Amino acid sequence: MNTHAVELHKVGKRYKYFSLNDISLSLPTGSITGFIGVNGAGKSTTIRILLGLVHQDHGSVQVLGQAMPEQQVLAKREIGYVSEDMRLYPKASLAWHMQFIQSIYPNWDQAYAEQLLKRFDLRAEQKIKGLSHGQRVKASLLLALARRPKLLILDEPTTGLDPVARQEVLTALIEVLADEDRTILFSSHNTLDVEQISDQVVFIDQGSIIEARSKEDLLDAWRRLRVRVAPDQTVAQLPYVLQHQGHGQLQTIITNRYSPELQQTYQQAGLEIQAVELLTLEEIFVASIQARREGKNL
């Protein structure tokens, strides 16, 4: 078994107004990776390259051991894909779609499909055009999950869903995670969703990967420190300060290299540390993007 389900090496794609800049990324087999970026950051382009729907200009892409786009037919036999942008045939029923997918994928699990039908409160005989947006997403997810794919690629699946539908989708995904061999790539600009289910996090901005590591490491490394500063002191010169706010004696510092040693360094520099706070994934994401756009090294 491959240790990595997905491996991208210096992959680039140039469009008129956007380019994907030599991105390299590896997704360990069995991992759940949250792929976070603002709209237009390059998430969907990267995902389409992974599926062979868009061919990279340069760089190598391996998905489940298959070179893409050349071996896309073999790779896609083991991939389930759901996208906010993807639609099923409006005039056909969900049952027709289930039969269609079943005829293509030998791994189709009918019992699981029926279980998902109940959980998602869907009716197989209903035509797709009669479903709400949330129901359509759940129908697509059912079709992807019941084929028991080794790699599940979800491109903004929760976008536009109401809170209940969003939670149902996330709960189904969390249950799928019980299968340790299945790798999931979950793209979203909603960091709360990613924080709930991911164990790896990748940030993408303006076509470049700016962060890729485990969620625990990421949350552990970032801190907000509330400090009291001497009148003649400038915190911007201190090591690993990505952001600082406030101009008086009380200021806040955000660092992405927090450790007890770093805290000691700040104290030795004369800062009085009043509080050390964890950041949410959303705060880390926003701070990362801002720091990068200000030209700082992450």
Partner 1 sequence: MNSMINHLVRKDWQINRTMMSIYLGAMLVALAMLLADDNSFVFGIGVILILTVLMILGIHLTTSNVISEHTQKTLAFIMSLPVSGRQYALAKILANLSMFLLPWLLALVGSWLIILSRDSLPNGLAAITTLALIEILLSYCLIMMMGLVTGSQHGAIGAMALANLGFQGFLWGILQIPAIAQHRDSNSLAWNSTELSILAIQLVIIVGLLGITLVVQQRKTNFI
**Contact positions toward partner 1, by CB under 8 A?**
48, 51-55, 72-74, 76-77, 79, 81, 83, 85-92, 96, 100, 103-104, 140
Q: Which is nearer to partner 1, 15 or 278 (CB)?
A: 15
Secondary structure letter of residue 95 according to DSSP: H
CA separation (Å) from 193 to 62, 89, 163?
Answer: 27, 28, 11
Shortest spacing between CB 54 and partner 1, in angstroms: 5
Q: How many CA atoms lie within 13 A of 116 on its CB side?
A: 30
Q: How far is CA 25 from the centre of its chain?
A: 12
Angle between helix 133-145 and 110-119 (nearest 10): 160
Least distance in Å: CB of 180 to partner 1? Answer: 24
28 closest CA partner among 47, 57, 12, 4:
4
In degrees, to the nearest 5, what angle opens at C-alpha 53 toward C-alphas 83 and 18?
85
- Residue nearer to partner 1 on the CB measure, 77 or 226: 77
User: Which two three-digit tokens encode residue 289?
Assistant: 């993007």
Select 73 or 250, whichever has its Cβ closest to partner 1. Answer: 73
Q: How far is the CB of 28 from partner 1 (least distance, A)?
A: 23
Q: Which of 145, 131, 195, 147 is nearest to 173 (CA)?
A: 145
Give the contacts of 200 (CB within 8 A, at least 6 positions apart): 27, 28, 31, 32, 33, 34, 212, 213, 214, 215
> Nearer to partner 1 by C-beta: 100 or 240?
100
Closest distance of CB 149 from partner 1, Å: 10
Tokens of residue 151, six digits: 């790699």
Nearer to partner 1, 49 or 197 (CB): 49
CB of 98 to partner 1, least distance (A): 13
Please state the closest distance from residue 82 (CB atom) to partner 1, in A.
9
If the CB atoms of residues 89 and 192 are measured against partner 1, the closer one turns out to be: 89
